[in-house]
Amino acid sequence: MNRFTKQNKIIHLVEANYHLLPVLNRFGINLGNKDKSLEKICAAQNINIDFLLAIVNTFHNEEYFPETELKSFSPLLIIDYLKKTHQHYIEYVLPKLESLLELLIDSNITEIHQLNIIEQFYQKYKKELLLHIKEEEQEVFPYILNLVNNNQVNNQFTIHSFEKEHSNVDDKLNDLKNLIVKYIEPVYDNNICNEFLITLFRFEKDIKDHARIEDKILLPQLITLEKHING
């Protein structure tokens, strides 16, 4: 799979993979840039082009994950990107999933109410995800920022296993998919169901990429920083 370069234009990226659209938005890049290259767009908007390319390429190609390069970027850049991703989930993806689920439930005219149980499950998943995001934004990220900016280690603070949290949240998303695809009576509008599942699949891919950056890049960076400061 080809890797995107500085010379590419937005249209090249989007034609190859339209799932990159929200990723570009997270960097503050909008459409309508005529024929400008990524390099020019980034220079004009003061965006770190190397970081953008690393993120875009890893998102596009699951096999491509240049750990050393990614770890060389400032944790501040990474945190900023991760926060934008959280915002995208909270403001756009979750509300979209919910409204589709509502439509799906409304499309059922039978007496079978399995979808209501699925909705309870979804709510539980959402609650856990939001809690996880809140912990990251209110505890983990500020801790890292303090580490980077002030060289301060708080020995009271423990990273309560990022990775385990992630796998718990991922498991539920996977279960939601399986329950609908395999076990629920199909007493609903198929088109709405497809739309819901497509949104779910896309979200799953996005969130896996997100978790991979946290677990494989940010967390090791944090451990190295702590070691460095502690001497």
Partner 1 sequence: MDNKVYIVHGSAIVQQGLSEVLLKNFKCTIQCYYDFKSLSESDDNCASKSIIFVEDKIANSTEFLQFIDQSHEVKSFSIVNDCAGNLPVNNDYTLSLYNSPDEIYEGIKHAFNTQGLADEESEGLSNRELDVLKLVALGYANKEIAEKLFISTHTVMSHRKNITEKLGIKSISGLTVYAIINNYIDTTNLDIKDLI
Task: Output the six-digit token pair for 42.
Answer: 């980034």
Phi, psi of 18 (to 5 degrees): -70, -10
Identify which range of 49-57, 98-106, 111-119, 189-197 contacts partner 1 by CB under 8 A. Answer: 111-119
**How many residues in the shown chain lie near partner 1 by CB under 8 A?**
18
Nearer to partner 1, 141 or 162 (CB): 162
Cβ neighbours, 10 Å, residue 141: 20
| Least distance (Å) between residue 217 CB and partner 1 | 23
Classify burial at 168, counting beta carbons within 10 Å of its beta carbon; exposed 0-12, middle 13-18, buried 19 or more.
exposed
Task: Work out whether 184 is an interface residue with partner 1 (CB under 8 A).
Answer: yes
Task: Work out whether 72 is an interface residue with partner 1 (CB under 8 A).
Answer: no
Task: Work out whether 18 is an interface residue with partner 1 (CB under 8 A).
Answer: no
The CB-side HSE value for 102 (13 A sphere, CA atoms) comes to 6
| Least distance (Å) between residue 186 CB and partner 1 | 13
Secondary structure percentages of the chain, helix, strand, coil, to 5? 75, 0, 25
**Residue of the chain from 172, 187, 225, 226 that contacts partner 1 (CB under 8 A):** 172
Task: Work out whether 161 is an interface residue with partner 1 (CB under 8 A).
Answer: no
The candidate with the shortest Cα–Cα distance to 76, out of 146, 163, 131, is 146
Evaluate whether 195 touches 104 at the Cβ level (below 8 Å): no
Q: C-alpha distances in angstroms, 113 versus 31, 53, 85, 94, 192?
A: 43, 46, 34, 22, 17
Nearer to partner 1, 87 or 167 (CB): 167
**Residue of the chain from 31, 67, 124, 194 that contacts partner 1 (CB under 8 A):** 124
**Residue of the chain from 110, 182, 190, 230 that contacts partner 1 (CB under 8 A):** 182
| Least distance (Å) between residue 183 CB and partner 1 | 6
Residue in the structure block whose two tokens are 């169901």: 193
**Residue of the chain from 105, 179, 187, 219 that contacts partner 1 (CB under 8 A):** 179
**Sites of contact with partner 1 (CB under 8 A):** 114, 117-118, 120-121, 124-125, 168, 171-172, 174-176, 178-179, 182-184
